[in-house]
A and B are shown apart, each in its own frame.
Chain A
Amino acid sequence: MSAQIPLVDYLALGDRPHLVAHECTACGARFFDRRNACASCSATEFRDADVATDGELRAYTIVSFAAPGIPVPFVAGVVDCAGTSVRSNIINVDPTPEAVRLGMPVRLATYSLGIDDDGVEAIGFGFEPA
C-alpha cells in the first residue's frame, strides 16, 4: 500500500478514519485549526478529542459557482456530530434539494484526492447519507 496523507491534519486516517478536535481542557470548547488560545475562555491548554463519525445534517447549500478547480454543483453543509459541529461537503448523494434533506443522518466517508510524484495519496473526507 502506498503512503497516504490527509487533506487536513485533523483527519485521522487508518482503519477507522475520524476527525480529531483540539479540545480546551478548561471549558471543553472544540476547534479544528492550530490554536493560540481558546476563543471561548482564553485558556491555552488543549487535548485531542475524537469526534463522532455519525451525525445529523443541520444546514446545507448546493453550490453552483465555486473557486477554480472545484467541481460543481456540490453540497456543502454543517453536520452535528454528537454536539460537535463539523463543516463538510455532503458526498455520495445527488446534489439536488430532492436528495438532500435537513436532519438526515450522515456518516464520515473518505475519498482520494490523487497521488503525487512521490507516490503519496491525499485523502479527503466528506459525510454521506447513513
Chain B
Amino acid sequence: MSDAVWILGITMTKFGKHADKDVIDLAAEAALGALADGGVSMTDIGVLAAGNLMGGGAPTGQLIQKQIGQTGIPVFNVSNACATGATALRTTIMAIKAGECDMGLAVGVEKLAGAGLLAGGSAKTDGNHWTPRGRYGSVAGVDGRIGTDTMPGTFAQIGMEYGHRYGGASFELFARISEKNHAHSTLNPLAAYTKAMSLEQIMGDVMIAYPNTRPMCSANCDGAAAAVVVSDAKLKTLSAEQRRRAVKVAASVLTSDPWEEACQILPNVNTLTRNAARQAYEQAGVGPEDLDLVELHDCFATAELVHYDNLMLCPEGGAVDFFNSGAPWRDGSTPVNVSGGLQSKGHPIAATGIANIWEICHHLRGEAGPRQIEGARVGLAHVIGLGSACGVHILERSAA
C-alpha cells in the first residue's frame, strides 16, 4: 500500500498586470485551468484550500466556489505570509493523507500590481504629546527609527550577514544573481518581466535597500495558481494519460522558526529552511545532488544566496562559490529559478507557493518547451514567509 499523493492537474495564470480581472476572476481562471489540466471537475473535489494574503479576511475559497461550483465541500481559507500558497497545497495534501477525501483543490491568488514598497507598519507619532504605546512602550514609530521593518531592508541584512560570516559576497555578486534570474525569464512567457538585464543595468538601477536595487527585489504583480491533488488509490482508477502526467509529491513539509538568539531582532530565515529541507530530503529519500531543478524563494537577490546554503545545494558556507561556479544557471549542475524567480517572473504573494510547483511539474512532465530542463526527474520548490513559515515540496516524475 502506498499513501503517496500526486499532483493531477496544475496551472498558473500569466503573471503581470490584469487590470480587467478581479481576484476571483484570476482565482477562477487558475482553478478551472487546474481541473481541466487534471481531466476532472468540481464534483470530483472533496476539499478546497484557498489563499489570498491581501484579501483582508474575505472567504476567498467560497467566493471561488460561487463562480465555479458550490458543491458543499469543506473550505479552508489559509493565510501564512509568503508561504500562503504552499500552505493551501499542504492543507489539501494533509486532508488526503488523513483519508478525508481522495481529491483536493488548492488555489493561491493575489492582486498586487502597483502596490509599491511593502513596508512594515510604522505607528504614527501621536500629535503633540509623547505617549508610550505597544509592546515596546514606544512614543513614536520604531520602523525606520530602530532599524527597518521593510522587506527589502530585512532581506538585505540577511544577505549581508551571510556575507559577513563567510566572506566573498558583494553588491556585484548579489546583482549577478539577479542577472541570472532576469536572463532565465526570457524563456518564460508567463513571467511578469521577460527582458534580460545587464549587470550594469541592475547595479545602476534605483537603490531600494543596499545592496538590493529595484530589479533585485521581487516584482509586485497580479496572478493566480492552482493545483488538483489526488490520492494514490484514486489515481490508479484514472486513465493512462492522467497517470502518465501525474507528478508525485515525494515530500511536503511546512516549518516555522524555532527560537534562537537574535531571531526576534532580525528574522532568521535560515534555520527553518534548513529544517524543512532536511525533513523533505528524508521524506523523499533523495539528496540535494539528486535535484534536476530548484525553484527557491528569491524574494530579493540577497535571499537567493542564503537559500543555496539552507537547501544544502552547497556545503555550509559555500553559497558564493556555488554561484560563482555557474551551478544555478539553467545550464549548470543545479539549475535554480529557471522560471525567472520572484525577481522576474513576479511575486503575487499567495500564488507563488503553487506557481513554483507548477514550474517544477512543467519540467517533470517534459512540457516546458524552450526552457525545458532535459530529462528532469526530481525537483524542489521552496517558499518562505516572514513571521516565519517555510514550505518545501519535492516533486518526482511519474514512472507510469
Contact = CB atoms under 8 A, between A and B. Distances in A.
B370 interface: no
Q: Which 9 pairs show the lowest CB-CB distances between chains A and B?
A: A9-B137, A70-B144, A61-B156, A85-B262, A67-B122, A59-B161, A62-B210, A87-B147, A76-B148
Contacts of A83: 261
B368 interface: no
A78 B262 contact: yes
Interface residues of B, number: 48
A67 to B, nearest CB: 4
8 contacts: A5-B132, A59-B158, A61-B148, A62-B209, A67-B122, A87-B266, A97-B171, A124-B140
Nearest to B213: A64
Given A78-B266, A87-B146, A8 B208 contact: no
B125 interface: yes
A63 B265 contact: no
B146 A65 contact: no
Secondary structure at the B interface, as helix, strand, loop or mixed, is: loop
Contacts of A116: 128-130
A50 B300 CA distance: 35
Interface in A32-82: 32-34, 39-40, 58-70, 73-74, 76-78
A89 interface: yes
Interface in B122-145: 122, 125, 128-130, 132, 135-145
B144 A88 contact: no
B163 interface: yes
Interface string A1-32: 00001111110000000000000000001111
A116 B128 CA distance: 5
A117 B128 contact: yes
A130 to B, nearest CB: 17
Contacts of B121: 67
B120 interface: yes
A85 B265 contact: yes
Contacts of B388: none
Contacts of A63: 144, 148, 150, 152-153, 209-210
B164 interface: yes
A39 B138 contact: no
A83 B259 CA distance: 15
B154 to A, nearest CB: 8
Interface string B249-265: 00000000001011011
B208 A65 contact: yes
Interface string A113-130: 100111010101100000
